[in-house]
Amino acid sequence: MTREKVLEVKDLKKHFSAGKDKVIKAVDGITFDIYKGETFGLVGESGSGKSTAGRTIIRLYDATSGEVKFNGEDVHGRKSRDQLRKFNRKMQMIFQDPHSSLNPRMTVLDIIAEGIDVHKLAKNDAERKKRVEELLEVVGLNKEHATRFPHEFSGGQRQRIGIARALAVEPEFIIADEPISALDVSIQAQVVNLLKRLQRDRGLTYLFIAHDLSMVKYISDRIGVMYMGHLVELADSDELYENPVHPYTKSLLSAIPLPDPRYERERVRIAYDPTAHDTSEEPEFREIRPNHWVRCTSKEFEQYKKELEKK
Ligand SMILES: Nc1ncnc2c1ncn2[C@@H]1O[C@H](COP(=O)(O)OP(=O)(O)OP(=O)(O)O)[C@@H](O)[C@H]1O
Ligand SMILES: [Mg+2]
């Protein structure tokens, strides 16, 4: 099976300078591909660099170094305004907090139509309005909502508006940065199901960023685990859950509550000790099984391999 790569990220770095002589290596060399139609989950604790990675990929930030290709074309580097506009249309982002990411002084109509205006996708006002009304229905709101303002909606509804705004330009690829973290648990599944339905109907590709592994497993085909600016493990979702190799991944998995109270009572949380690694050489990203990657030294690699064989 040959799969078409939508996104290729190679050794991407984003460092921030924080005062004199201080550098924050928010993203410090990550490499992965995303295939057409899949959902790639990116997980890791707060501050591990997930949002910075997403924002750098979509070029909200300039990369410090490394490469991002979208449909085979370099996203960073020098670009004409036309080329940038084209990327801009094909890649969209959905944010965590639908409250602060929607302008409170704009109507829902104008918020959703922003991309339509920028890319001149409607011939006149009537067509513009019609497109927005269609989008509202696609995301489970109704067209009467177009004249209202963001504060008149619940968190879940606001996130639907954010999704409609992203869809307005007919993107191929969407980066969703913790799109459900700020919502009530009861609403989270609804928004995830909406995203999944949209993916099926429109052939969308997602980079889905999340804190914890519980919802991500349900939505992702493959998962990358970030720790302090690095990808420490990457595998198909099932493989990652069944055969986690990196101690940090094991620790994240041990934090997920189990639905069955009998097992939940006996669940053991594994703490991650970053100082317990082999330091005889710089760790590298190595393929331990087909399509299963882990960041480790050669010594750790042999040890992890043995553990996998014993299973
Ligand atoms: N604009 C910025 N300027 C300076 N430092 C930043 C900036 N944005 C992020 N950082 C720092 O980079 C690191 C990674 O932050 P980032 O927001 O990417 O993490 P995250 O994994 O998305 O965390 P969270 O789960 O809390 O959203 C943190 O140490 C953060 O303080
Ligand atoms: Mg973040």
Of 49-58, 190-199, 257-266, 272-281, give the lowest mean pLDDT range: 257-266
Contact residues of ligand 1, CB 6 A cut-off:
16, 18, 24, 26, 44, 46-52, 211
Judged against a pLDDT cut of 70, whether residue 45 lies above it is answered with: yes
Ligand 1 atom nearest residue 52's Cα: 18
Give the residue among 95, 87, 89, 93 at the shortest CA–CA distance from 71. 87
Task: Please state, rounded to an integer, the average pLDDT across all residues of the chain.
Answer: 92
Residue nearest to atom 12 of ligand 1 (CA): 26
Token output for 195: 């995203």
Q: How far is the CA of 141 from the centre of ligand 1 (A)?
A: 33
Residue 77's pLDDT is what?
Answer: 76
Residue nearest to atom 18 of ligand 1 (CA): 49
pTM: predicted TM-score of the whole model, two decimal places:
0.93
E-strand stretches of the chain: 5-17, 23-35, 39-43, 65-70, 73-74, 91-94, 173-177, 205-210, 222-227, 230-236, 284-289, 292-296
Judged against a pLDDT cut of 90, whether residue 239 lies above it is answered with: yes
Judged against a pLDDT cut of 90, whether residue 90 lies above it is answered with: yes
Query: What CATH number matches the domain at 5-310, 3.10.580.10, 3.40.50.300, 3.20.20.120, 3.20.20.70?
Result: 3.40.50.300
Q: How far is the CA of 224 from the centre of ligand 2 (A)?
A: 15
Strand partners, 295: 285
pLDDT tens-place string over residues 144-191: 999 999 999 999 999 999 999 999 999 999 999 999 888 888 889 899
Judged against a pLDDT cut of 80, whether residue 74 lies above it is answered with: yes
Pairing type for strands 39-43 and 205-210 reads parallel
Provide the residue ranges of all domains of the chain, joining segments of one domain with +: 5-310
The one-letter code for the residue type at 284 is: E
Judged against a pLDDT cut of 90, whether residue 290 lies above it is answered with: yes
Split at pLDDT 50, 70, 90, the class of 255 is: confident
Q: How far is the CA of 177 from the centre of ligand 2 (A)?
A: 7
Residue 263's pLDDT is what?
Answer: 79
Residue nearest to atom 22 of ligand 1 (CA): 51
The ligand placed nearest to the CA atom of residue 226 is 1
Of 78-82, 88-92, 128-132, 193-197, give the lowest mean pLDDT range: 78-82
Residue 1's pLDDT is what?
Answer: 53
Residue 131's pLDDT is what?
Answer: 96
Q: How far apart are CA 46 and CA 227, in angstroms?
A: 9
Beta carbons of 211 and 43 less than 8 angstroms apart: yes
- H or E element: which one contains 133? helix 125-138
The one-letter code for the residue type at 206 is: Y
The ligand placed nearest to the CA atom of residue 19 is 1
Q: How far is the CA of 52 from the centre of ligand 1 (A)?
A: 6
Question: Any idea what the Cα angle at residue 175 is, between residues 171 and 180, rounded to 5°?
Answer: 120
Judged against a pLDDT cut of 60, whether residue 204 lies above it is answered with: yes
Q: How far apart are CA 226 and CA 295, in angstroms?
A: 10
Residue nearest to atom 24 of ligand 1 (CA): 46
Residue 2's pLDDT is what?
Answer: 65
Residue of 42, 50, 100, 175 best suited for mutating to test ligand 1, as the one with most atoms within 8 Å of CB: 50
Judged against a pLDDT cut of 70, whether residue 61 lies above it is answered with: yes
Residue 264's pLDDT is what?
Answer: 83
Residue nearest to atom 17 of ligand 1 (CA): 51
Split at pLDDT 50, 70, 90, the class of 57 is: very high
Residue nearest to atom 8 of ligand 1 (CA): 52
Q: How far apart are CA 249 and CA 258, in angstroms?
A: 17
